[in-house]
Structures are given as C-alpha cells and as structure tokens.
Structure 1
Amino acid sequence: RASTTEVASITLKRQAFESWRTGYSSAFAIILFVAVFGLANIYVKALNKVKQR
C-alpha cells in the first residue's frame, strides 16, 4: 500500500519487486515517464520564451 507521502518511484519499485506486479509497474512506469517528459517539455518551452525576451 502506498501512503500519501510516498514518492511515485518508490511505489513503482515496491509494486515491481515486492508485490511482483510487473504488468502494473510497467504501465505505471510508462505513465510516469510520459508525465515527466511532458512537464520537462513545458518547462523548456517556457525557458525558451523567457530567453527570447
């Protein structure tokens, strides 16, 4: 079980290696990657806009 203060990567590791829920953890990893990639992309675009001023 995940607590409210548990980091997503720790939840991912626990599901994969302690609970042996590899399908769930694989899907969770893909969703986590897409979220981080999307946020990083937004951040880089915002930095480029500030840099152009």
Structure 2
Amino acid sequence: VQLTGGGPGSLTTLSSIDLKREAFEKWKTGYSSAYAVILFVTVFGLASIYVKALNKVKDR
C-alpha cells in the first residue's frame, strides 16, 4: 500500500481492513460475517497446504 500510495480507489485495500470497514462502518453484519468465514477458510486452507508441504520437506 505504501509503494502504490493507496492505489486508485480501494484497489489495494487489504481484506482484513475491508472486512472491518464493512462490519463497523457500514454495519453490514450479515455480509461481514460471511466474509469473515470465507476469509478464515481460505487462510486456514492455505496454511494447511503450507504446513503439509513443509512437513514433506522436513521428512526428506
């Protein structure tokens, strides 16, 4: 974000900041709850893949 100066509009906004904005500034609780669940599942899935790959490398 610092390198692009924030980008045009909200193009470079982080998902976590966008989630906070939707929940606490726009009061879209249903949308932000679904957003949080999807974000959690995505991060958890990527972390699981990373840990499995790390364990395979470690076992060699």
TM-score by structure 1 length?
A: 0.94
Structure 1 regions of 5+ residues with no counterpart?
none
Aligned partner of 1:35: which letter?
T
1:44 paired residue number? 51
What CA distance in whole angstroms lies between the structure 2 residues aligned with 1:50 and 1:3?
Answer: 39
Structure 2 SS opposite 1:6: coil
1:24 paired residue number? 31
Does 1:15 pair with 2:31? no
More helix by share: 1
Offset at 1:33?
0.1
Structure 2 regions of 5+ residues with no counterpart?
1-8
Larger radius of gyration: 2
User: How many equivalent residue pairs?
Assistant: 52
TM-score by structure 2 length?
A: 0.83
1:4 paired residue number? 11
Offset at 1:3?
1.2
With a CA cutoff of 8 Å and minimum separation of 6, indicate the structure with the bigger relative contact order.
1
What CA distance in whole angstroms lies between the structure 1 residues aligned with 2:20 and 2:39?
Answer: 12
